[in-house]
Amino acid sequence: MQVDLREPWWIQDVRIPTRLVLAPMAGVSVQAFRRQGRRYGAGLVCSEMVSCAGLEHRNERTLGYLRVARDEHPLAIQIFGSEPAVMGEAARMVAAAGADIVDINFGCPVRKVTKTGAGATLLDDSGRACAIVEAVAKAADVPVSVKMRRGLENGSRTCLEIGARLVDAGAATLTLHPRSARQMYTGEAEHSLTAELVELVDVPVIASGDITSGARAQAVLATTGAAAVMVGRGAQGNPWALREIVDGDSGEPSREEVAAELIVFIRETVRELGERRASGFLKKFYGWYLGRGRFPRPFKQELVQLESTEEVVTRLLVAAPRAVELVERLESELPDPADEILLDSMPISIYGGG
């Protein structure tokens, strides 16, 4: 039986217009990425994870400021940390900044995070994990979600042992990526665990991991009973994958469409991060957009070597001159920057990637 991914669902009182969630990804989920995801069918978009310690200390290493635009809602802002009180204060701040949902990261496997006692490490400290959820739920006046992995080690079933306790502590929804922290992104996501979690809790569960096509999304939703699917790496430089998952539209974008989306993404990222930061941040996106046979492989290397983002835009328009009209249309649909909510001194991430 086909699931209508255009059917809305709810996280407490927050209406999510489609059953596709765009994942929070460090060094990727800047505002331009989130807004693009919304245009292509994501019902809920997420910021990359924000360090609660950075919020507490107004870290001078802050490389950007969180921006919330009117076309991003509903938006989840993800926070990470290991101290309940500090996480509670961080939740209060990001809710004030305009988040519709506060998401807690109990899934990041990267040592830079886990060595601080945050991320996936908290799955092995259920008492502290539940205390964090309770503190966040009390501090924020918006729903709380938790994103987690199956556990630290391969074969772990920790997610099932802790899931109901997190809900009792105040989580309004859970996202499960059923790989272990040790696996990182290798192997396969074991969605039989997702199905078990759905049966154990009485809140919506979002299925994350290996959602790479509409067929895969349908299969996961049908076999797990999850409320929605989350897409991450598959959407990097490829918003058309979101459209295919939601609407079944598997048509490949034209060269002009690819160039136009990349140009708008470049300009919006420069506006958000500034030219110096954006220039380095964007280089990985060139390969993501231009790959998959869309442009000759040497073209990506040529763009990476250019010194400024405007040079990159110029070169893209030379390669796809008919993209000009598409760029103008896309930019005309962007909201006025004056509509953004800015919360000064809020670092986007500890990574320096935006």
Residue range 194-208, pLDDT digits in tens: 999 999 999 999 999
Q: What is the mean pLDDT of residues 3-7?
A: 94
On whether the CB atoms of residues 326 and 253 are closer than 8 A, the answer is: no
Instruction: Give the tens place of pLDDT for each residue, 306-321.
Output: 999 999 999 999 999 9
**What is the reported pLDDT for 178?**
96
**What is the reported pLDDT for 243?**
96
Peptide bond preceding 74 in cis form (omega within 30 of 0): yes
Domain 9-250: CATH superfamily is Aldolase class I (3.20.20.70)
Percent of the chain past pLDDT 90, that is, above it, reads 74
| Rounded Cα–Cα distance for residues 293 and 313 (Å) | 20
130 is catalytic: no
Would the pLDDT of 62 be above 80? no
| Rounded Cα–Cα distance for residues 171 and 81 (Å) | 16
Residue of 177, 77, 181, 176 lying closest to 136 (CA atoms) = 77
On whether the CB atoms of residues 206 and 172 are closer than 8 A, the answer is: no
Residue of 6, 41, 42, 4 lying closest to 23 (CA atoms) = 42
Q: Which two tokens stand for residue 310?
A: 């405007």
Q: Which residues pair with 45 in a beta bridge?
A: 22, 75
Would the pLDDT of 339 be above 70? no
Would the pLDDT of 60 be above 60? no
Q: What is the mean pLDDT of residues 103-110?
A: 92
**What is the reported pLDDT for 183?**
92
Q: What residue segments make up the domains of the chain, in order of their start?
A: 9-250, 255-334
Cβ-Cβ contacts under 8 Å for 60 (sequence gap 6 or more): none
Instruction: Give the tens place of pLDDT for each residue, 146-198.
Output: 999 999 999 999 999 999 999 999 999 999 999 999 999 999 999 999 999 99
**What is the reported pLDDT for 94?**
87
**What is the reported pLDDT for 192?**
97
**What is the reported pLDDT for 45?**
96
Tell me which of 12 and 353 has the higher pLDDT: 12
| Rounded Cα–Cα distance for residues 308 and 320 (Å) | 19
Please report where in the chains the tokens 């920790």 appear, as a residue.
158
**What is the reported pLDDT for 344?**
46
Q: What is the mean pLDDT of residues 216-231?
A: 97
**What is the reported pLDDT for 65?**
40
Count of positions (residues) in the chain = 354
**What is the reported pLDDT for 58?**
58
On whether the CB atoms of residues 161 and 127 are closer than 8 A, the answer is: no
Q: Kindly name the residue from 46, 52, 108, 130 that is annotated as catalytic.
A: 108
Element (H, E) at 165: helix 158-169
On whether the CB atoms of residues 299 and 291 are closer than 8 A, the answer is: no
For residue 347, name the pLDDT band (cuts at 50, 70, 90).
very low
Read off the amino acid at residue 258: V
